[in-house]
């Protein structure tokens, strides 16, 4: 039986560990944070948006995002209610300048532009000031906190509350998988940095919004992710900072853009203000593969803005790698060696 240590019990580490367990490995996960709330997954909205802005940058990443997106129905089938919602995403532009900027993205994604009134037919709570929009039927959402809770339950007794500071500590294992989010950088020397994101959670009567909203309001970008229970996740700032402090400016920009697009949110309760760190890499793509030729240490980190979307495909590819020693060709573009 292959003995595997997974360093990091965020969404990536837990997904890999659960897949390995299902496939017969003896898995232990190490994470110092008792409820795992140190991870980026805890603040993440859970948009499953393979056509996002990364699509312009790196064709290999687009292919991985699309392949990852296809795995979601089977991934959630075994998890129970994790808030997987396929209503789709409505992209909005408030001003003429916002429309000009968004039109480029809509064209790239081959989305049909909608007028303001067509947008309000789909989603009546949208402000009458919104000029245009587009509907992305394939962009879904899930609740990352619910997924992590289910995966932790599955791995009961296999999660050890410990900070790993030196990977050679795990010499007794056949393979060590490092999935420590942005902290993978400090453990491995790979160029993974924290990219801070502030996120708000609002709560009100369920049903104000049916779709995920991804909008621009006077140059301020915001997304609104409505959950079935009345929670609305409002995100997110993007800052090259390592602190976790919510700021007045960050919260102001998010709320202003949210209320410009959906005025009815003003009556919602503001229940949470949090900040987390996306694990960023120089090319915005994840780092997936063995660290060295001896094939004892694998890395699965650097998922930046798409770690929720990419969790199922990362789990499958890394479990294959660990159990067979052979890398799927899709991994070639994401090998750690590209930064050496």
Ligand X SMILES: Cc1cc2nc3c(=O)[nH]c(=O)nc-3n(C[C@H](O)[C@H](O)[C@H](O)COP(=O)(O)OP(=O)(O)OC[C@H]3O[C@@H](n4cnc5c(N)ncnc54)[C@H](O)[C@@H]3O)c2cc1C
Contact set with ligand X (CB under 6 A): 7-13, 30-33, 36, 38-41, 43-47, 163-164, 179-181, 183, 187, 197, 199, 235-236, 276-279, 301, 303-309
Query: Closest approach of Cβ 78 to ligand X, in Å?
Result: 19
Query: Closest approach of Cβ 13 to ligand X, in Å?
Result: 5
Query: Closest approach of Cβ 129 to ligand X, in Å?
Result: 26
Of 93 and 148, the one with the shorter C-beta distance to ligand X is 148
Query: Closest approach of Cβ 71 to ligand X, in Å?
Result: 13
Residues 6+ apart with CB under 8 A from 112: 106, 134, 135
The phi and psi torsions of 13 (rounded to 5 degrees) equal: -60, -45
Nearest residue to 269 (alpha-carbon basis) of 224, 202, 206: 202
Of 227 and 278, the one with the shorter C-beta distance to ligand X is 278
Of 8 and 133, the one with the shorter C-beta distance to ligand X is 8
Q: How far is CA 100 from CA 74, 96, 97, in A?
A: 38, 6, 5
Q: Hey, which bits of 18-136 come out as E strands?
A: 26-30, 47-48, 89-93, 113-115, 132-136
Of 12 and 136, the one with the shorter C-beta distance to ligand X is 12
Q: How far from chain centre, in Å, is Cα 251?
A: 20
Q: How far is CA 20 from CA 148, 283, 286, 317, 323, in A?
A: 16, 28, 20, 11, 8
Alpha carbon distance 329, 241 (integer Å): 34
Of 83 and 279, the one with the shorter C-beta distance to ligand X is 279
Query: Closest approach of Cβ 121 to ligand X, in Å?
Result: 26
Query: Closest approach of Cβ 131 to ligand X, in Å?
Result: 25
DSSP letter at 250 equals: H
Residues 6+ apart with CB under 8 A from 22: none
Of 96 and 245, the one with the shorter C-beta distance to ligand X is 245
For residue 253, cis peptide bond before it (omega within 30 degrees of 0):
no
The tokens describing 269, both together, are 């309760």
Of 45 and 132, the one with the shorter C-beta distance to ligand X is 45
Alpha carbon distance 298, 12 (integer Å): 13
Query: Closest approach of Cβ 223 to ligand X, in Å?
Result: 7
Is there a contact between 310 and 64 (Cβ–Cβ < 8 Å)? Answer: yes
């Amino acid at each position: 039986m292959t003995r595997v240590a997974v360093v990091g019990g965020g969404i990536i580490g837990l997904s890999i560990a659960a897949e390995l367990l299902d496939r017969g490995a003896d898995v232990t996960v190490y994470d110092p944070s008792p409820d795992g709330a140190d991870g980026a997954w805890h603040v993440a909205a859970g948009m499953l948006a393979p056509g996002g802005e990364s699509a312009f940058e790196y064709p290999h990443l687009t292919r991985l995002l699309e392949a990852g997106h296809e795995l979601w129905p089977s991934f959630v089938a075994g998890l129970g209610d994790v808030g997987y919602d396929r209503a789709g995403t409505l992209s909005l532009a408030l001003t003429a300048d916002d429309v000009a900027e968004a039109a480029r993205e809509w064209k790239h994604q081959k989305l049909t532009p909608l007028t303001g009134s067509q947008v309000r037919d789909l989603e009546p709570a949208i402000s009458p000031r919104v000029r245009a929009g587009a509907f992305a039927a394939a962009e879904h959402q899930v609740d990352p906190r619910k997924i992590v809770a289910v995966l932790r339950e599955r791995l009961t007794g296999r999660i050890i509350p410990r900070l790993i500071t030196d990977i050679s500590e795990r010499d007794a294992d056949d393979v060590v998988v490092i999935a420590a989010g942005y902290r993978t950088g400090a453990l491995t020397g790979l160029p993974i940095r924290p990219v801070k994101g502030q996120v708000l959670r609002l709560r009100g009567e369920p049903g104000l919004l049916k779709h995920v909203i991804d909008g621009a309001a006077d140059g301020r970008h915001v997304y609104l992710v409505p959950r079935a229970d009345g929670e609305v996740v409002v995100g997110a700032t993007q800052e090259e900072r390592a602190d976790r402090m919510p700021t007045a400016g960050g919260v102001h920009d998010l709320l202003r853009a949210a209320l410009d697009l959906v005025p009815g949110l003003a009556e919602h309760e503001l229940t949470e203000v949090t900040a987390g760190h996306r694990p960023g890499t120089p090319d915005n793509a994840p780092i997936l593969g063995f660290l060295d030729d001896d094939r004892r240490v694998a890395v699965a980190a650097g998922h930046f803005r798409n770690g929720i979307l990419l969790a199922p495909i990362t789990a499958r590819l890394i479990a294959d790698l660990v159990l067979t020693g052979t890398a799927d060709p899709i991994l070639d573009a994401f090998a750690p060696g590209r930064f050496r």
